[in-house]
Amino acid sequence: MTQRSAELFERAQKILVGGVNSPVRAFRSVGGTPLIVDRAKGSRLIDADGREYIDYVCSWGALILGHADADVVSAIADQARRGTSYGMTSPLEIELGERLARAVPSMERVRFVSSGTEATMSAVRAARGFTNRDLILKFEGGYHGHADSFLVEAGSGLATLGISSSPGVPAALAELTLNVPYNDVAAVERIFASHAGKIAAVIVEPVAANMGVVPPAPDFLAALRRITQRDGALLIFDEVITGFRLRCGGAQTVFGVQPDLTALGKIIGGGLPVAAYGGRRDIMEMIAPLGPIYQAGTLSGNPLAMRAGLAMLAKLEVPGFYAALEHKAERLIGGLRAAVRESGVPAQINAAGSLLTLFFTGEPVQNYAGAKKSDTSRFGAFFREMLARGILLPPSQFEALFVSAAHSDDDIDRTISAARASLQALSVSK
């Protein structure tokens, strides 16, 4: 049934590192042959063997409209005829930048880059240059891309593979990254007391999504804002996932907390490689060519990505879009919770808007320590059971499921039914 996929993966391992170009795709934590995708449309993926799956990875959240949305595809095709890369500024960059700034008022000035890692890395560099301080504070299990400063007690792929830091990161650089538990204001206060006047910035996912979904505790984000302002440090919101996923203005609009700098990605390129960082004018005008903090990129502001992003944002701005999306997510979450109760399998479902994670643990998950108590082998078994029933989940306990506008009521019903059967199979096997 998966003969061609197996053959392709065998070929891939002879040329691609581990057979993949991003570690979690290798299915090491869930077992089985990695999915080799042939094509996708709407809520569905088709693998190399012609098998169809309802997709809840959605390019790790980028495809909020689903795969191959007609308007986005049309915009990309039209732009391709006009040129795929200029290496110079185009009106499209200006227009998309203006759209972002209208939606995210904290972004007074914007710089486009090509990936979320570039956006967060550049935001931290800007914060260090602006404050003339070296230390940054992040949260255990928070993943902000694979720049050296972030690969200490990180989530996402590092959590999936059980890696707490990465060889190749100099110890001297790792020492400049401080870590405390997510949702622990007292720990933040203590770290600022012991490093007063030395922390350049706090970087945080306003809703954690790379240790699995963990919403912020009441007042957590507001407390970070108060503490950083008091100390003269900057607050950076990594909204690579939550930006335009929770609302057009991102999590900062939902929670009413305005950061100094914001990193955006995933959705703003309509599925093409693009990201952005931006924030207060006085900070951003320290970036070259206006200031001494250097950052550049040949493909930054790529016209294909700009056109795709403009087509995508136009749809997200339609009144009622997010209400309809969250209604789909609520139906799925409610059905999954009912299936968990019926099965008796110890599990928790954390959710924020159209993001959710099923943690296989009997205890509430409020930070990375709680997430790590999950039974990852049971998650792997659940993943395989769901895949066999035509449902593709993220191949890691420590990632989020993404609901898209393309998911239909039938998709949701089929997913709940598959989850009920999969959880029952796990219950019987134990």
Read off the pLDDT of residues 110-164 as tens digits, 9 standing for 90 and up.
Answer: 999 999 999 999 999 999 999 999 999 999 989 898 776 776 654 444 444 444 4
Are 249 and 367 contained in the same domain?
A: no
- Per-residue confidence (pLDDT) for residue 152, from 0 to 100: 63
Domain boundary among 273, 301, 316: 316
Are 124 and 80 contained in the same domain?
A: yes
Are 261 and 399 contained in the same domain?
A: no
- Per-residue confidence (pLDDT) for residue 162, from 0 to 100: 44
- Per-residue confidence (pLDDT) for residue 2, from 0 to 100: 63
Q: What is the mean pLDDT of residues 370-378?
A: 95
- Per-residue confidence (pLDDT) for residue 280, from 0 to 100: 98
**Range(s) of the domain holding residue 189:** 70-316
Domain boundary among 282, 316, 350: 316
Are 50 and 84 contained in the same domain?
A: no
Provide φ and ψ at 302, rounded to 5°.
-50, 130
Q: What is the mean pLDDT of residues 196-203?
A: 97
Single out the residue of 409, 400, 421, 420 nearest to residue 43, CA to CA: 409
Query: CATH no. for residue 205?
Result: 3.40.640.10
- The question of whether 277 is a catalytic residue gets the answer no
- Per-residue confidence (pLDDT) for residue 163, from 0 to 100: 43
138-152, 235-249, 256-270, 329-343: lowest mean pLDDT where?
A: 138-152
Selecting among 53, 56, 143, 368, the annotated active-site residue is: 143
Confidence band of 172 (pLDDT split at 50, 70, 90): confident
- Per-residue confidence (pLDDT) for residue 157, from 0 to 100: 46
Q: What is the mean pLDDT of the chain?
A: 92
Single out the residue of 86, 75, 67 nearest to residue 301, CA to CA: 86
Are 132 and 264 contained in the same domain?
A: yes
Selecting among 47, 231, 266, 277, the annotated active-site residue is: 266
**Side-by-side strand order, sheet with 391-392:** 37-41, 44-47, 52-55, 391-392
- Per-residue confidence (pLDDT) for residue 294, from 0 to 100: 92
Are 203 and 119 contained in the same domain?
A: yes
- The question of whether 41 is a catalytic residue gets the answer no
Confidence band of 188 (pLDDT split at 50, 70, 90): very high
Confidence band of 97 (pLDDT split at 50, 70, 90): very high
Please tell me which residue, 169 or 62, carries the higher pLDDT value: 62
Per the structure, how many domains does the chain have? 2
- Per-residue confidence (pLDDT) for residue 5, from 0 to 100: 87
Are 109 and 49 contained in the same domain?
A: no
- The question of whether 143 is a catalytic residue gets the answer yes
Percent of the chain with pLDDT over 90: 82
Are 184 and 257 contained in the same domain?
A: yes
Confidence band of 241 (pLDDT split at 50, 70, 90): very high
Query: CATH no. for residue 39?
Result: 3.90.1150.10
Please tell me which residue, 429 or 417, carries the higher pLDDT value: 417
Residue 251 has pLDDT above 80, yes or no: yes
Confidence band of 165 (pLDDT split at 50, 70, 90): low
Single out the residue of 224, 222, 140, 233 nearest to residue 180, CA to CA: 140
Domain boundary among 316, 343, 364: 316
Are 108 and 38 contained in the same domain?
A: no
The predicted model scores a pTM of 0.92
Percent of the chain with pLDDT over 70: 95
- Per-residue confidence (pLDDT) for residue 31, from 0 to 100: 84
Are 80 and 117 contained in the same domain?
A: yes
Are 292 and 335 contained in the same domain?
A: no
Are 15 and 156 contained in the same domain?
A: no
Residue 213 has pLDDT above 80, yes or no: yes
Confidence band of 170 (pLDDT split at 50, 70, 90): confident
Residue type, 213: V
Q: What is the mean pLDDT of residues 61-71?
A: 97
Selecting among 55, 238, 260, 411, the annotated active-site residue is: 238
- Per-residue confidence (pLDDT) for residue 90, from 0 to 100: 96
